[in-house]
Structure 1
Amino acid sequence: MAKKIKNFSELVMFEHTIFSASFSFMAICVALMYKYFANSFDVFSEIKIFFLCIIALVSARNFAMGFNRLCDRDIDRKNQRTKNRPSVDGRISLFTMILFCSLNALIFIAVSFFINQLAFYLSFPFLIILAFYSFMKRFSVLAHFILGLSLGLAPIAGAVAILGAIPLWSIFLALGVLFWVAGFDLLYSLQDIEFDKKEGLFSFPAKFGIEKTLFYSRVSHFFAVFFWFWFLWSINSGIFGFLGILCATGMLCYEQYIVARDLKNIPKAFFVTNGYLGFVFLVFIILEVVARIYYA
């Protein structure tokens, strides 16, 4: 059993849930703050919704990653970097992967139903978007931005779960996530540039080359900071929120620097810097919310 759990964890790279989880939790914290000031905050109800949100987040991500691995089995089998994934080397069968994706999709829909009506209605288009990314690399260089959109749904989902609505600030936060993810996925895809050219895949590096990929990754990260700034502005953030975006900007600059210096630093930039970025930004948003409530 422990071995099977390890295989599934490797399949969906469970430890990377923090990429989307951090920004979903940011939206939840801000939404709870607004509910508190509106005198509609109920501790037991919010705790229940929070745990439902965690289940929804994990199941949605499991579906997205599992479905992507399912669709990419033919590609991953040929790629030296991915040929040892559980979806390819026989540790997880095709039937088991289909069952895994189906169960997680059903869990996500069911949990959304118990959160609120809008969450339930949005669960279906959200799953379609998550699945659509897996096909994009076969016909469009916009795949990197569809991945960004997929993770950008997380903060919108967090706001919907708490407020039953999609406030403007959650859209700004989501757009920031979209460009943040697209920016680092452009860098990450540089590792497969020769393979993508050989297989005729529509990755940005394969079509436009290394220099243009680095440039548009920087442009994407500029827009990430731009939209995060408007997110903070729209919630009338104080000093903690802007310290958070300052740290995030510094980490993005560091990420761009180490990759431009040596492409061998891509794994470090992707797995370390991005993981810390979301967590650090989340901590500052929590401090901002606590300070706003305490000094209100």
Structure 2
Amino acid sequence: MRFSKDFAAVCRMIKIEHSVFALPFAFIGAFLAAGGWPGTWNLLVLTVAMVAVRSFAMAFNRLADLDIDRDNPRTQGRPLVTGELSRSFTMWFIAGTGVVFVAACALMNPLCLLLSPLALIWSGFYSYCKRFTMWCHFVLGSVLGLAPLAGWLCVDPAVTLPAVLLLCGVTFWVAGFDLLYACQDHEFDRKRGLHSIPARLGIAPALAISTFSHGVAAMFFLLAGWAASLGWVYFLVAGGVCLILLLEHLLVKADDMSRVNVAFFTMNGVIAVVLFFGVVLDLILTA
């Protein structure tokens, strides 16, 4: 019984359900690098690595932000704040997931192993960015933007144009929806002296930057398909993704933030999964 409670608390701390954002993009990179099925082993170690590094980053963020989360009414139910999980347990969890990530990268190829410490450092660095720059949303975007590049490198240890374009697309995509999410805390962040775009510029400018970011993301997704020589199936699906992004911004208004969770989680999770299946179908039908 105790184990199930602790496990549930860990899952809430790292928001395990949000893995749907990054994992499909890692798979996109792997499938594109292979030109089809990347192999069961590659997908297995890639999945372990992605879950591990995301768990590392989320736990690190919760520990780094513990003092902030204690003061923010929206985050006072988080396991570290309530005491369901201890600081010492979280530090051991961070160390353990970091080791698992490096081990999974070692099972990929030497380049992935070499780059693994840099990925961990960058994942942890994000947690401190809102203390000194309002562009923290784009740093977070670049962390998740590593997913398609990681998937590509797992299969083919070479940096290519499609992988870089996907990295850019995911960076702007994540930054765009993180801006929506950050609007919920704009008053708290401003009072606390934190540097989010909604806190520094206001909600309306933040929504405009979010819309612009998603437009740029859509452009990069289309360019990535072109660079990877994908066909009409992918571009049809990518066009649908652009429509989803548009609908997302119709849901959120400066004077009505009640639908932020719908825009943040449901629709962005759909985007990642739909784009992945668009790539797979295109590779199958145009093979």
Provide TM-score, normalisation by structure 1: 0.94
Does 2:85 align with 1:92? yes
Q: Which runs of 4+ in 1 moved over 2 A?
A: none
- Give matches, 1:120-131, under 5 Å: 120-131=113-124
Per-residue deviation, residues 73-128 of structure 1 (Å, max 9, x unmatched): 00001111100000110000000000000100111111111110110011011111
Match of 1:265 among 234, 244, 259: 259
Q: CA deviation at 1:12?
A: 0.3
Q: CA deviation at 1:66?
A: 0.5
* Partner in structure 2 of residue 16 of structure 1: 18
Does 2:145 align with 1:152? yes
Instruction: Confirm or deny: 8 A CA contact 2:186 2:199 kept in the other structure.
Output: yes
Count of residues in correspondence between the two structures:
284
Does 2:205 align with 1:209? no
* Partner in structure 2 of residue 71 of structure 1: 64
Instruction: Confirm or deny: 8 A CA contact 1:18 1:279 kept in the other structure.
Output: yes
Q: CA deviation at 1:263?
A: 1.3
Give the AA of the match of 2:180. L
Instruction: Confirm or deny: 8 A CA contact 1:55 1:111 kept in the other structure.
Output: yes
Q: CA deviation at 1:238?
A: 0.8
* Partner in structure 1 of residue 270 of structure 2: 276
Does 2:109 align with 1:119? no
Q: Which moved more, 1:259-268 or 1:2-11?
A: 259-268
| SS at 2:158 equivalent | coil
Instruction: Confirm or deny: 8 A CA contact 2:27 2:43 kept in the other structure.
Output: no
Question: What is the root-mean-square deviation in Å for CA atoms of aligned residues?
Answer: 1.1
Q: CA deviation at 1:47?
A: 1.4
* C-alpha separation in 2, matches of 1:87 and 1:203: 23
Instruction: Confirm or deny: 8 A CA contact 1:193 1:205 kept in the other structure.
Output: yes
* Partner in structure 1 of residue 32 of structure 2: 30
| SS at 2:189 equivalent | helix
Q: CA deviation at 1:138?
A: 0.5
Give the AA of the match of 1:288. D
Q: Identity over the aligned pairs, expressed in percent?
A: 37
Stretches of structure 2 that go unaligned for 5 or more consecutive residues are: none
* C-alpha separation in 1, matches of 2:7 and 2:270: 25
* C-alpha separation in 2, matches of 1:48 and 1:249: 33
Q: CA deviation at 1:260?
A: 2.1
* C-alpha separation in 2, matches of 1:240 and 1:274: 20
